[in-house]
Amino acid sequence: MLAFLSRSVLLGIATAAILLVAIPELRSQMFTSSVSLSEPDTKLEQISFNNAVRRASPAVVNIYNRRYDADDRLTLSTQGLGSGVIMSDKGYIITNYHVVAQADQVIIALQDGRFFTGQLIGKDQRTDIAVLKIQAENLPVIPLNPRYNPVVGDVVLAIGNPYNLGQTTTYGIISATGRSGMSFYGRQDFLQTDAAINKGNSGGALVNTRGELVGINTASFQQATDIETYGISFAIPYELTHKIMKKLIADGRVIRGYIGIDGREINPVMARLYDADQVSGIIVMGMDPNGPATKSGFKAQDILVEIDGKPVTDMRNVLDIVTELRPGSTVAMKVLRNGKPLILSVLIADEPEVPEPVATSN
C-alpha cells in the first residue's frame, strides 16, 4: 500500500514538472498569484472623485435665511437653511427660489470662512431659481462646460450643506432626464438622480466627475410628494439655470409670453375623429376667457399646429415656444377648424404672476 502511494506521488510530481517545462506561462501565473496574495497590485488605481470635489466645492456656499421676529421688528432670527453656487467672479450666486423667497435678510457663508450679506437680484417662482449677489474679491467660481450634455448613467456628485452639518458630498448617477410635473411651482424638466439631497442641500451644486456644474439641487421626491422614498432626487439642469439667471440679472424677473390656452396632444386616432390629416399638434380644450387666445378668435376643439412658423408637437412644446415670445408682439398661429386651416393673429401678453406660496425652508 505504501509503495502504491509513493508511486502515485512521484507520478504526480513528475507530471507537474513536465507541464511547467512544456508551458512556461504556468510558471509566470503561479509566481504572480503568489505575489498578489502578499502584496497589493500597484497597477490597480483607486477610484476617487477627490479632484472633482476639490474643483467644485469652494464655489458651493451655505445660505441662511433670516426673518424679522413677528413680535420684535428689530430682531432678526435664522428661519431657513440652504445652499448656493457661485456662478461668476462678479459675485452672482444661484440658489433656489424657495430658499430665499420669504427672507428679510440672506447671509452667505463661503467655504474659506468669509461671510456676506446677499443682495437679491431676482427670483423666479416657476423654475424655483433665485439670483443673489455679494461684493467680494477672489471668489471661487464653479467650473462650467456648456458642451456637456448629461445622460442617464452619468456619475454625479451633490454638494451642499444638509441639516447645517457643514459641506457634504453625496454620490450617485443620473437616473432620468426630462422629468416634468415634479416642481413645487412650475413645469420645468428636472434631472433625476439617486444622489442624496436632504434639507439644506437645496440650491447646491450637482456636478459631474470633472467637477463641472450639471444642475442645481432642488428637491427630493419625498419633499415634493410627502411620500416616503429613497434614492429619488431632482436638480434643475444647468442649461435652464443659466438661461433664467441671465434673464433675472437683466430684468430682475423672467418675462414670459402668454396666450392663455390649455390643450392636449393629438394622436392619429383623435385626428381621424376630428377629420384632420394633420396629426402633429394639440387640441384646444380650454382658454382663459380674458386671455389673448380668446381675444384673437380661438375656439375650443381647434387644433393648434403651428406658432410663429414653428410646428407644434405637444403641450410642453407650446409652452416652450410661447414663453420665449416677447409680450406685446403679434404672432401668427395656424389652427385646423373642422379640418380646414385657419391663420389667427395673437397679441402676446405677459404671463400672470404666480401667487406667493406659504414660506417653507429647505
Helix or strand (DSSP H, E) at 52: helix 50-56
Q: What is the model's pLDDT at position 358?
A: 46
Show Cβ contacts of residue 27 under 8 Å, excluding neighbours closer than 6 positions: 20
256, 257, 295, 301: which is closest to 281 by C-alpha? 301
Show Cβ contacts of residue 350 under 8 Å, excluding neighbours closer than 6 positions: 255, 256, 257, 258, 327
List domains and CATH numbers for the chain: 52-133 (2.40.10.10), 155-240 (2.40.10.10), 257-350 (2.30.42.10)
Residue 124 three-state SS: strand
C-alpha–C-alpha distance, residues 43 and 260, integer Å: 63
Helix or strand (DSSP H, E) at 38: helix 24-38
Going residue by residue through the chain, which has 362 residues, state the pLDDT in tens, using 9 for 90 and above. Answer: 555 555 555 555 666 555 555 555 555 554 444 444 455 565 667 788 999 999 999 999 999 988 887 666 666 677 778 999 999 999 999 999 989 988 889 999 999 999 999 999 999 988 899 999 999 999 999 999 999 999 999 999 999 988 888 899 999 999 988 766 544 444 567 899 988 888 888 999 999 999 999 999 987 655 555 555 567 888 999 999 999 999 999 999 898 899 999 988 876 666 666 655 556 788 999 999 999 999 999 999 898 989 999 998 888 888 888 988 999 999 999 998 888 889 999 999 998 876 665 444 44
Binding residues, as ranges, are: 259-264
Binding residues for substrate, as ranges, are: 259-264
Burial of 294 from C-beta contacts in 10 A (0-12 / 13-18 / 19+): middle
Q: What is the model's pLDDT at position 13?
A: 63
Which parts of 165-285 fold into alpha helices (H)? 221-225, 238-251, 268-273
C-alpha–C-alpha distance, residues 62 and 324, integer Å: 33
DSSP character string of 281-317: SEEEEEE-TTSHHHHHT--TT-EEEEETTEEP-SHHH
User: Are 116 and 86 within 8 A, CB to CB?
Assistant: no
Reading the block at residue 196, the C-alpha cell is 442624496
Give the pTM. Answer: 0.75
Helix or strand (DSSP H, E) at 322: helix 315-323
Query: Which residues carry out catalysis?
Result: 98, 128, 202
C-alpha–C-alpha distance, residues 257 and 79, integer Å: 35
